[in-house]
Structure 1
Amino acid sequence: MAENTVSEIERMVVTRVFDAPRELVWKAWTDPKYIMQWWGPKGFTVPVCEMDFRVGGKLLCRTKTPDGQEFWNAVEYHEIVPYEKIVSLMYFSDSKGNKVDPAQLGIEHEAIDGAYDVTTFEDLGNGQTKLTFIGNEPMESAKNSGQMDGWIEILDKVAAVVAGLVQAK
């Protein structure tokens, strides 16, 4: 039996249209002071967020669950096209950004080997921007594990950050 390749597996995809120019959506997604406001599903907080936003750079966030459990996430940046696309690899890590098996944290997570996360920012005109996040998880697994719902909650939090940026403009 042949193994599935990245192109044969339906990947998790979430989209959101924001009533904001692409530059503000990009800013909310790429500035650590705003990332701290939206990282993680509803009720999660981020006490620490460090970012080196460049190809080869890394984002490192200490995430706290509503019940007080803490863990680290890292994101490695592999491609950045300003205001258009970010290709990255997100994973659970230690405080130094070294990969940690999610099972060690009691977290169910299935990633597609060789797949990167891709985030695109599309200017729809009329002051609207479409953000599309394509995760490195299989869609079915993301639905079953709650990751899909988590990403929808994350995009709700991003929408609140973007709305604040629009008001401040």
Structure 2
Amino acid sequence: MTMTKETSSDLVIERIINAPRELVWKAWTEPEHIMRWRGPKDFTTPVFRVDLRVGGESYSCMRSPDSKDYCGKGIYLEIVPFERLIMTDSFADKSGNIVPASYYGMSGDFPLEMRITLLLKEHDGQTKLTLRHSGIPAGEEREGARQGWNESLDKLDWYLEKEKSTMSA
């Protein structure tokens, strides 16, 4: 199923990643890899915890260039290794409690819970990645999220290019 159309609450990004699907999967599911690429340009991710099982949680904190932390929490809803990952996505405080987007100075139009769907497909030795982030308000907030995800995926491309020889599938 190709998911390329955006609805009023969905952000969809498709990319061809120059790495085998198994490596892309590892980069999305193992904290030691996620922490190296997740977040917009000039952001770092000093904290990322994963309990990769249906019902398990992920928790992360991204740090902006001015040292402000933005934390998030999710629950894994569906896991099909190397193919699909579906999880909730919420803003959180440093203790892992779900908070509204306004906690971080964003619009109150964000729902408390959004959803991220990641699809990975083989594509001539590379990986076609489709990311659907549902629930982001249209307008400036969605465009900011699109920019952030694209910058993060640029970092993923760079990281995997550098790490392909050392990461084993």
Q: Which runs of 4 or more aligned residues in structure 1 lie more than 6 Å from their structure 2 counterparts after TM superposition?
A: none
**1:28: Cα distance to partner?**
0.8
The match for 1:154 is 152
TM-score by length of 2: 0.85
* Whole-angstrom distance in 2 between the partners of 1:157 and 1:151: 10
State the 1:114 CA deviation. 7.7
- SS at the partner of 2:127? strand
Q: Structure 2, unaligned stretches of length 5 or more? A: 1-5
Aligned to 1:165: 163
Distance 2:112 2:95 in 1: 23
Gaps of 5+ in 1: 1-6
Q: What is the deviation of 1:136? A: 1.3
Q: Map 1:8-157 onto structure 2 (within 5 A).
A: 9=8, 11-108=10-107, 110-111=109-110, 116-124=115-123, 126-138=124-136, 140-141=138-139, 145-157=143-155
Q: C-alpha displacement at 1:113, in angstroms? A: 8.3
Identity of aligned residues (%): 35
TM-score (norm 1): 0.85
Q: What per-residue deviation string (whole Å, max 9, x for no partner) do you get for residues 21-76 of structure 1?
A: 10011011111011111121011111222111111111111221111111311121
Q: How many Å apart are 1:138 and its aligned residue?
A: 4.7
Cα distance change of structure 1 residues 116 and 62 upon mapping to structure 2, 3 Å threshold = closer
**Cα distance change of structure 1 residues 112 and 120 upon mapping to structure 2, 3 Å threshold:** farther
Q: Report how far residue 144 of structure 1 moved.
A: 5.2
Contact (CA 8 Å) 2:115, 2:135: kept in 1 or not? no
Secondary structure of 1:34's counterpart equals: helix
Matching residue's letter, 1:16? R
User: For the structure 1 residues 159 and 122, does the alpha-carbon distance in structure 2 shift closer, same or farther, using more than 3 Å as the test?
Assistant: same
- Could you say which structure has the higher helix fraction? 1
SS of 1:123's equivalent in the other structure is strand
Instruction: Find the aligned partners of 2:104 and 2:141 in 1 and give their Cα distance.
Output: 20
Cα-to-partner distance string for 1:110-130 (whole Å, 9 max, x where unaligned):
446886221000111x31101
State the Cα distance separating 1:97 from its structure 2 match. Answer: 2.1
Q: Which amino acid aligns with 2:107?
A: E
Distance of aligned partners of 1:36 and 1:113 in 2 relative to their CA distance in 1, 3 Å threshold: closer
**Conserved in 2, the CA contact under 8 Å of 1:142 and 1:148?**
no
- RMSD in angstroms over aligned alpha carbons? 2.3
Specify whether residues 108 and 44 from structure 1 end up closer, same or farther in structure 2 by C-alpha distance, changes over 3 A only. Answer: farther
Rounded to whole Å, the distance in 1 between the matches of 2:155 and 2:41 is 8
